Amino acid sequence: MEPYLKEQGVTDADVTWWDGLSWFGKRHIKASEYAYSSAWLKEFEKQGLRSPEDILRKLDKVSLCYADYASKEEMLTAVLKCERLGYSADDYPLPWQLQKRCSEFTQRCFSSGQREWFRESANRFNTMNAFFRAQMREGKV
């Protein structure tokens, strides 16, 4: 495993899960995440948001963002783009290897009656990614 993935909280089990998926399985997961984001984008358009920066900030507040990084250099390039928006390292995209754990955490919260806690807690963070990184540090994800 690449050291930067470990720094992001990716475990050997996460890598094994992601690497064990077929090309189609990975595409399906990515397509599902993109469809979720697209639905939010349409909602923001209905709300009258037009500025790309405002739309991105709003999307990052309600939706996780994942990215493929072939190297630490690619990851750092993405971080620099996020920093231009005033984001911190906790806000930038999560590795796709974390998608399963993040999804399971969300499902646990929503199915165990913690929906309101989830929303209120996530709202205290700049982005949904920052919220999930905090939950990972606490061992909840």
Per-residue pLDDT at 112: 97
Task: Locate 73 and state its tokens.
Answer: 């250099």
Q: How many CB atoms are located within 10 Å of the residue 84 CB?
A: 8
Per-residue pLDDT at 11: 97
Task: Locate 51 and state its tokens.
Answer: 């500025």
**CA angle, 66 then 46 then 44, to 5°:** 25
Per-residue pLDDT at 23: 97
The 10s digit of each residue's pLDDT in 36-55 is 999 999 999 999 998 888 88
The 10s digit of each residue's pLDDT in 61-112 is 999 999 887 566 776 676 666 666 778 888 888 999 999 999 999 999 999 9
Domain ranges of the chain: 3-137
Q: How many CB atoms are located within 10 Å of the residue 124 CB?
A: 9
